Amino acid sequence: MSDTQDSSPSSASPGPAPVAAPKQRIDPHEPRRTRIVSVAAIGALIVTAIVFRKPLMAWFTGSSIGGSTSEAVHVSAGGVSIDAALDPDPPRESGNHAHIVVRDAQGKPVTGAKVRLEYDMPAMGAMQAMHGGGDTTEDGEGRYTVAFDLGMGGSWTITIRVTTPSVSAIARYTLRVGSAGLTPLGGESQGVAGATGSGSMGAMDMGSNPSDVSYYTCSMHPSVHSHEPGKCPICSMDLTPVTRQEEQAGVIHIEDSRRLLLGIRTTKALRAPIDLTITAKGRLAVDETRLYEITLKIGGYISDLRVNATGQSVNRGDTLFTLYSPELYAAEQEYLIARQNQDAMRVSGDTAHSERLVRAAETKLRLWGLSDDQLAALAKSGEPIERVPFRSPASGVVIEKNVVDGAAVTMGQRLFRIADLADIWVEADLYESDLPRITKGLPASITLDYLPGKTFDGKVAFIYPYLDPGSRTGRVRIALPNKAMELKPDMYATVMFKLPLGPRLVVPISAVVYTGPRRLVFVDLGNGALQPKEVMIGARSGNVVEITSGVNEGDTVVSSGNFLVAAESRVRSAGSFWEGSHDDQH
């Protein structure tokens, strides 16, 4: 017992008692939280890899981070063919590449050429024009590659310049950031540039003729404009030239959503049959072949005037007036005496002389205006007629009256003029330039303000062989029936001639913009690009006009709102494009 007690703690030497260590608390949810964080981290890595798979692949492989390469767009210029494609497609504001293939006229690759790409954006409102470019690296077999950054969204004009010792060619395109593909604007050739060194790219290094340069600007600071090459005063970069051709291209870009707001509509240039319409002013006139004059061949005195007003209608055989003439009365007596002597001579057997006297007296009366019926009535009665009735030789309307009842008239005096209005003439005056198109028998349509909504159809009956020296117009005649007497002389009429011209290339008249001596239409190049093109116009028919040169069948042209497009093109391009060429001004 004692041994046990001595070994107990109470028997130890006095000192501080040891402190026991606190027991650690274990969280039962810790393993689950750790697993959730691990899963979330792995998921974030997977999502990041999916979203940025293209940049990661490009970083590991060294290729472009863009999308697929666009289809190559072909342009021929200066005896070479230039094919250009974009990578990525659609292009972005930065990180773009252009792949260019240059071949000669035989299709062989052109190596050792100096190829440069330039990009331009015209001024828009307060924003100045932007310009930049870069040289290409040759990949062999006529292939060239250039990297370029556009700097901002919107539509850009791309210019590719190819220079060799024997060829200097330019190809132009348009592109829009975010829209797929290149749109060709065409190509051109220039004089061969001089040798270039390894220094900075100047105006001559770009293959440009210094006389064609409009101004120099900085691609980073487009507000800088200089008439001489040099350094940018802001960033000290080399200034790049902007040629007059680039200014004068007139190409503008209007996206579809803005077109709807501006009311801009387009249509295609189509080949369709048209009729040339010639309009002329005409005047209704009396048919001169149905015009009659009443003229006496002997003097006398008018009595019993039956037609005493102008405009009165008469029929053939109606009595117009009676005439007392002493000479006519004496001639009637001579005629009756000759007939009596003829009867006496017939008894004696000598009739030849008496018959000659009767024929002479009868001829005199007939020449003085007596008809056969009146001669027969005179012979039957055996008494001279004191007041001889004179009858109308035709049916018609009295358009002129120069006599009153009881008037004394003389031989040769015109008493009446009668017009038969059953047919009437339309005389139309045409400009000298339109006369060669008018032929006899050509159909014509006549309308009158007097009869709105009614059209009379006729044919050209005669073309007068002379011009009016004052108005320099020629006259044609159209005969119309007028049985209802609706057409009246001296009315004004509108005469239209339609000449079928067959199929022609036509656009709406509203598509043509008139600017001085030139005629322009805006052609839709795609990707929002609109380019003004000078055209020659021909015949007009209804709402369409013939285009003889300037556009091709199937081209899409602006048909509505083109004056707004023209105003924007004026602002964004050089004024000389709208003022005409140097030749036009002189």
> What are 398-431's pLDDT values in tens digits?
999 999 999 999 999 999 999 999 999 999 999 9
Convert the pLDDT of each residue in 149-178 to its tens digit.
987 888 888 899 998 888 888 898 888 888
Average pLDDT, the chain: 80
Residue 546 pLDDT: 93
Question: Tens digits of per-residue pLDDT, 186-237?
Answer: 887 765 443 333 333 333 333 445 545 666 766 555 556 677 788 878 777 7
Decide which of 10 and 418 is more confident: 418
Mean pLDDT of 79-88: 90
H-assigned helices in 295-393: 326-348, 352-367, 372-381
Residue 321 has pLDDT above 90, yes or no: yes
In sequence order, what E strands does 220-379 have?
240-243, 252-253, 265-268, 270-286, 291-295, 300-303, 313-314, 319-324
473 burial via Cβ count (<10 Å: 0-12, 13-18, 19+)? middle
pLDDT of residue 582 exceeding 70: no
Which range, of 8-17, 321-330, 341-350, averages the lowest pLDDT? 8-17
- Residue 243 confidence (pLDDT) above 70: no
| pLDDT at residue 418, as a whole number | 94
- 21-35, 107-121, 409-423: least confident range: 21-35
pLDDT at 429: 95
List the one residue out of 251, 221, 252, 227 whose CA is nearest residue 241.
227
Comparing 458 with 60, the larger pLDDT belongs to 458
Q: Which three-class secondary structure state does DSSP give residue 180? A: coil
pLDDT of residue 200: 33
The least confident of 50-54, 86-90, 246-250 is: 246-250
Are residues 554 and 266 in contact, defined by beta-carbon separation less than 8 angstroms? no
Mean pLDDT (whole number) for 375-388? 87
Residue 358 has pLDDT above 70, yes or no: yes
Output 193-199 pairs: Cβ under 8 A, ≥24 positions apart: 193/163, 193/168, 196/114, 196/163
| pLDDT surpasses 70 at 242 | no
Does the pLDDT at position 468 exceed 80?
yes
Crossing angle (nearest 10°) for helices 30-51 and 53-61 = 70
Q: What single DSSP character describes residue 392?
A: -
Phi, psi of 338 (to 5 degrees): -65, -40
Measured distance CA(533)–CA(542) in Å, rounded: 23
Contact 579, 585 (CB under 8 A): yes
Report the distance separating Cα 184 and Cα 253, nearest Å: 14
CA distance 381 to 384: 8
**Whether residue 518 has pLDDT greater than 90:** no
Cis? peptide before 9, omega within 30° of 0: no
pLDDT band at 135 (very low <50, low <70, confident <90, very high): confident
Report whether pLDDT(141) > 50: yes
| pLDDT score of 488 | 93
pLDDT attached to residue 44: 72
Percent of the chain with pLDDT over 90: 35
Distances (CA, A) of 478 to 14, 148, 433, 457: 153, 72, 20, 9
State both tokens at 461: 């009956």
- Residue 565: per-residue pLDDT: 81
Residue 458 scores a pLDDT above 60: yes
| 144 pLDDT more than 90 | yes
Mean pLDDT for 277-300 is 92
Paired tokens of 173: 């395109």
